[in-house]
Structure 1
Amino acid sequence: MKVVVGLGSCGIAAGGNRVLEAIQEEVESRKIDVDVKKAGCIGMCYLEPIVDVIDDDGNKTTYVRVTPEIVKEIFEKHIEKGEVLSEHAIGEDDRSYIDGQVRIALRNCGAIDPESIEEYIEKGGYKALEKVLKEMTPEQVIEEMKVSGLRGRGGAGFPTWFKWNATRSAQGSPKYVVCNADEGDPGAFMDRSVLEGDPHSVLEGMAIAGYAIGAEHGYIYVRAEYPLAIKRLEIAIEQAREKGFLGSNIFGTGFSFDVKIKAGAGAFVCGEETALIASLEGERGMPRLKPPFPAQKGYMGKPTNINNVETFANVPWIILNGGKAFAAIGTEKSKGTKVFALAGKVKKGGLVEVPMGIPLRDVIFRIGGGIKNDRKIKAVQLGGPSGGCVPESLLDTPVDYESIVKTGAIMGSGGMIVMDETTCMVDMARFFLDFTRKESCGKCTHCRLGTKRMLEILERICEGRGEESDLELLEELAVNVKGGSLCGLGQTAPNPVLTTLRYFRDEYEAHIKDKKCPAKQCKALIAYRIDAEKCKSCGLCARKCPVNAIKGSKGQPYEIVLEKCTKCGTCMQVCRFGAVFVE
């Protein structure tokens, strides 16, 4: 009998460690032979903590939203008596969340112990590395990547084989492989989950890339805010060295490759490859002009190949299964699968890996279960602060690089934030621009000052002080910032503004002309009131109001004093009769 606990960051945050302790206590007190294991995140973050019970015949029962109290029931009924607790087991509706996916990059996440190299090997781990070292030339490896059609999953979608080939062909030695794990988009957690759940797949992918381009040194530049990912990477690197999969003379072939970890500088701009290289070298993370590209002049001025976590995680699968198998999935120009972090106003938030070409609507409704509280969907933000808002009318757009760009958004690294009718699109644009303005490194005048001026305009509009001329000025500034910025941060920072202006201009005009926020979110443009007919004069709202802004007496409807109201919403939250409303 085996019991497996999901202990990715999401599982731990939901109480996974307490569940693990409860399981260990039950095993010890009952003195039974149960193998307790841990795994990474399987992707169903909305159901954590998740516990799998696997019997001796391999039959698996998945329990969700497990607590220490439920653990006791599982041991009393399921493990000792063989009775499945159906009320705590995963339902068919939730099982479809995984069944509706095609998992390649996430193939081992949630299925193996990320701190056990033996479990990775049991799943075929390091077989791809052995294959390329013993059976393939570097040119054949690059050709296999070309056949696969794998494009960089970090956002730009550049052909992976082309970058590898350019680095291999470049003059200079030594050469370097760098994994970009500086995942800085708000709402994105794809790279983190892969590193926490299957770190060896990334190490193996990097080693294969090293062989293909002629590099012996690799670096993983990972967000310092990902302590669990760093810890598991450190364990994986040490294990791989002990097994001889990293280090000198790997598989007795004479090929040597090793990996080091560099904790990120905490700057969003370091996700841009030249800024990342500067930070890796110990300099301030600021981008530089290209060309020369990193493939010609990268880390320490030497040829350097940079791919992100998801890209490297796909490589071993492609080598073992063939480039044609990967290319058979997806569309003509966008091959394979893509991992998305599904977040926001969606019922089933978590990680999803889907074939390229699937409609956005299928991801959100068929896999994600639709919108929370069955509200209407308004838009989905793709690509994080560098992306754009795709309206409900375009949800049948297929998920591929070219189609997404046509909407004004970008694929990005895979952030997918769902917004419903209660989301103010002007405020959403303000939020993302505030983020990029703060994260600008300041090197470019257009980015440094342009984003600040755009943010000031958006803040005025949200506060009810906007003017009609502001919209024209916003668009002019956006075009200049895109055209005049040095790196991708500034070049894409205006995207949320431009797409919301394009698809939700009526909301901007309502803020400016009518001094109203249609979504009733901008505090300066709303007012809390009490419906006299619904008010039961219980006085609860007045007692809970933190600023004493509600007056009234028993038998008489209560009233909100607008001059004193801070619009915190407490009155609406505590009212049991639906008497408080926003206008």
Structure 2
Amino acid sequence: MSVATEEGGTARSGAPGAADGGADKLLSPVLSAFWDEPEPWKLATYLRHEGYLGLRKALAMQPDDVIAYVKDSGLRGRGGAGFPTGMKWQFIPQGDGKPHYLVVNADESEPGTCKDIPLLYANPHSLIEGIVIACHAIRSQHAFIYLRGEVVPVLRRLHEAVREAYRAGYLGSDILGSGVDVELTVHAGAGAYICGEETALLDSLEGRRGQPRLRPPFPAVEGLYACPTVVNNVESIASVPVIMQRGKDWFKSMGTEKSAGFTLYSLSGHVARPGQYEAPLGITLRQLLDLGGGMRPGHRLKFWTPGGSSTPMFTEEHLDVPLDYEGVGAAGSMLGTKALQCFDETTCVVRAVTRWTEFYAHESCGKCTPCREGTYWLVQLMRDIEAGTASMGDLDKIADIADNINGKSFCALGDGAAAPIYSSLKYFRAEYERHITEKGCPFDPAKSTLWADSEATA
């Protein structure tokens, strides 16, 4: 089996440094099963690996039966919130006389998250097949893929895959003689983090400035062009074909009781072999680090994020927390996008949180006052703390500002900006205080550089 790496190649589960003997049992190659084959993005390659067989089964079923099947499989959204996919499809009203739309959220912007882009680059037909199944289920004739415009190679490859699918009869009119019609549009966004929020994405897709909408009405009732719309993550939709092909019981045999199936974990930071590791939900970071060769030589884990920078951070004491929705939630964080950013003891927590806070302040759309004003002042205070010019009272001040942002915005960007603040204060308040008492950062910046060569900084 193969695991895609950040360098664009692959690392194999049996490679030196992987967990001897146990790697194949821990990992579950499904979406990434043939990423290391020559031209895995081609239709011919996909067809050799049971491609479009799930679609044939789905088209032989009634739309409501497809929804019920996906719902019974236990598939939950892989974009962050973990909402049951089949239930989201079920919310679409029927017999309303309006067009229905499916929108695939491929605007992967969360710091540390890098699963959807490699998936689209290496296996785009899994998404296309899933889109047709989903459109059949919700009775939609038009689907959209909203992709980040910066990833031009992925955009080109996705366009070519769509052309292949049209030529082969998997898109267009009367798909495989079923009477089902599906048109697919690939839309390149302009690169705004806020457009990863589903209602802001819909505004952007309609040609307006991407800003979150007030809900209700929810997208399932009044979404794209004021019509019923389902918005799903890339990995969520790409997981549907194999569920239809191999069965819901097969899918439920992996993962945990409430978090079923397999998923892609993005392992990055101060680790020996960063990359994508596809495993059942419920695996632990300790196990993933064993597969990834551990932390860089001579260093130990200090803190990490379970779902990207917008989720409360964890420490070494959380190495054995099950990485599923319930386990991570019970430990005080969120599984999110499974972006496991690992930082060793050379990293200054204050510096890391400051950089994340700068990112959220920059990406705030400005619609909500708590987020717009709060992130600005958080940046000012965090910079003062990092520089050693703040006072002890400023620590309570940033905690208070974070509390005034959390849960008080139209979307989750405000929550994401507050999460690193209050979680880092919880675990590393003494480090914040050192910056103030020592009038500056006690860490050597050269040794804190995340992408420095491990031998140079060991």
Matched, 1:129 2:55: yes
**Which residue is 2:374 aligned to?**
450
Matched position secondary structure for 1:480: helix
Partner amino acid, structure 2, of 1:336? G
Partner amino acid, structure 2, of 1:256? D
Distance 2:332 2:394 in 1: 21
Q: In 2 relative to 1, CA 399–91 (structure 1 residues): closer, same or farther, beyond 3 Å?
A: closer
Partner amino acid, structure 1, of 2:382? L
Greater relative contact order structure (CA < 8 Å, 6+ sep)? 2
Q: In 2 relative to 1, CA 192–170 (structure 1 residues): closer, same or farther, beyond 3 Å?
A: farther
Matched position secondary structure for 1:515: coil
Distance 1:115 1:472 in 2: 51
**Which residue is 1:174 aligned to?**
99
**Which residue is 1:117 aligned to?**
43
Of 354, 376, 390 in structure 1, the residue corresponding to residue 300 of structure 2 is: 376
Of 385, 404, 415 in structure 1, the residue corresponding to residue 309 of structure 2 is: 385
Give the deviation of 1:333 after TM superposition. 1.4
Do 2:2 and 2:36's aligned partners in 1 also have CA atoms closer than 8 Å? Answer: yes
Distance 1:387 1:306 in 2: 22
**Which residue is 2:184 aligned to?**
259
Distance 2:286 2:97 in 1: 48
Matched, 1:243 2:168: yes
Partner amino acid, structure 2, of 1:43? V
Partner amino acid, structure 1, of 2:217? P
Q: In 2 relative to 1, CA 432–123 (structure 1 residues): closer, same or farther, beyond 3 Å?
A: same
Distance 2:325 2:263 in 1: 11
Matched, 1:188 2:148: no
Contiguous gaps of at least 5 residues in structure 1: 1-40, 51-61, 65-89, 527-567, 579-583
Give the deviation of 1:315 after TM superposition. 0.4
Matched, 1:475 2:435: no
Distance 1:125 1:112 in 2: 16
**Which residue is 2:345 aligned to?**
421
Deviations 1:534-563 (A, max 9, x none): xxxxxxxxxxxxxxxxxxxxxxxxxxxxxx
Partner amino acid, structure 2, of 1:155? G
Deviations 1:255-303 (A, max 9, x none): 1112110001210000000000000000000001111111111100000
Deviations 1:412-459 (A, max 9, x none): 222111100001111111111110110000000110010111111111
Give the deviation of 1:390 after TM superposition. 0.6
Partner amino acid, structure 2, of 1:411? L
Q: In 2 relative to 1, CA 325–184 (structure 1 residues): closer, same or farther, beyond 3 Å?
A: same
Deviations 1:225-280 (A, max 9, x none): 11111111111111111111100001111111121100012100000000000000
Do 2:112 and 2:309's aligned partners in 1 also have CA atoms closer than 8 Å? Answer: no
Of 277, 283, 306 in structure 2, the residue corresponding to residue 352 of structure 1 is: 277
Matched, 1:363 2:288: yes
Counting only pairs closer than 5 Å after superposition, residues 75-114 of structure 1 correspond to structure 2 as 91-93=15-17, 99=24, 100-111=26-37, 113-114=39-40
Deviations 1:60-83 (A, max 9, x none): xx9x9xxxxxxxxxxxxxxxxxxx
Distance 2:95 2:346 in 1: 52
Partner amino acid, structure 2, of 1:500? S
**Which residue is 1:314 aligned to?**
239
Q: In 2 relative to 1, CA 421–170 (structure 1 residues): closer, same or farther, beyond 3 Å?
A: farther
Q: In 2 relative to 1, CA 170–488 (structure 1 residues): closer, same or farther, beyond 3 Å?
A: farther
Of 202, 205, 218 in structure 2, the residue corresponding to residue 293 of structure 1 is: 218
Q: In 2 relative to 1, CA 48–234 (structure 1 residues): closer, same or farther, beyond 3 Å?
A: closer
Greater shift, 418-427 or 373-382, is seen at 373-382
**Which residue is 2:3 aligned to?**
43
Distance 2:298 2:368 in 1: 44
Partner amino acid, structure 2, of 1:230? L
**Which residue is 1:28 aligned to?**
none
**Which residue is 1:74 aligned to?**
none
Contiguous gaps of at least 5 residues in structure 2: none
Give the deviation of 1:113 after TM superposition. 2.0
Partner amino acid, structure 2, of 1:158? F
Distance 1:382 1:355 in 2: 15
Do 1:188 and 1:414's aligned partners in 2 also have CA atoms closer than 8 Å? Answer: yes
Q: In 2 relative to 1, CA 265–309 (structure 1 residues): closer, same or farther, beyond 3 Å?
A: same
Distance 2:2 2:163 in 1: 24
Q: TM-score, normalised by structure 2?
A: 0.93
Distance 1:161 1:101 in 2: 25
Matched, 1:410 2:334: yes
Q: In 2 relative to 1, CA 196–47 (structure 1 residues): closer, same or farther, beyond 3 Å?
A: closer
**Which residue is 2:386 aligned to?**
462
Q: In 2 relative to 1, CA 359–49 (structure 1 residues): closer, same or farther, beyond 3 Å?
A: closer
Kindly, what percent of the aligned residue pairs are identical? 40
Counting only pairs closer than 5 Å after superposition, residues 541-556 of structure 1 correspond to structure 2 as none
Do 1:172 and 1:303's aligned partners in 2 also have CA atoms closer than 8 Å? Answer: no
Give the deviation of 1:42 after TM superposition. 4.7
Distance 1:108 1:257 in 2: 27
Of 484, 496, 500 in structure 1, the residue corresponding to residue 420 of structure 2 is: 496
Distance 1:312 1:298 in 2: 18
Do 2:381 and 2:398's aligned partners in 1 also have CA atoms closer than 8 Å? Answer: yes
Of 73, 79, 82 in structure 2, the residue corresponding to residue 154 of structure 1 is: 79
Distance 1:323 1:45 in 2: 29
Counting only pairs closer than 5 Å after superposition, residues 492-571 of structure 1 correspond to structure 2 as 492-515=416-439, 517-521=441-445
Deviations 1:111-167 (A, max 9, x none): 362442112111111111111112x11111111111211110000100001111112
Partner amino acid, structure 2, of 1:219? F
Do 1:139 and 1:212's aligned partners in 2 also have CA atoms closer than 8 Å? Answer: yes
**Which residue is 1:58 aligned to?**
none
Q: In 2 relative to 1, CA 444–49 (structure 1 residues): closer, same or farther, beyond 3 Å?
A: closer
Figure out how many residues of one structure are paired with residues of the other and give that number. 450
Give the deviation of 1:367 after TM superposition. 1.2
Distance 1:321 1:164 in 2: 21
Q: In 2 relative to 1, CA 262–95 (structure 1 residues): closer, same or farther, beyond 3 Å?
A: farther
* Superposition RMSD in Å: 2.5
Partner amino acid, structure 1, of 2:5? C
**Which residue is 1:560 aligned to?**
none
Do 2:109 and 2:193's aligned partners in 1 also have CA atoms closer than 8 Å? Answer: yes
Partner amino acid, structure 1, of 2:114? F
Which entry has the higher C-alpha Rg, 1 or 2?
A: 1
Partner amino acid, structure 2, of 1:257? V
Distance 1:507 1:170 in 2: 59
Q: In 2 relative to 1, CA 229–171 (structure 1 residues): closer, same or farther, beyond 3 Å?
A: same
Deviations 1:80-117 (A, max 9, x none): xxxxxxxxxx8443596973411223233223624421
Partner amino acid, structure 1, of 2:177? G
Give the deviation of 1:191 after TM superposition. 0.5
**Which residue is 1:545 aligned to?**
none
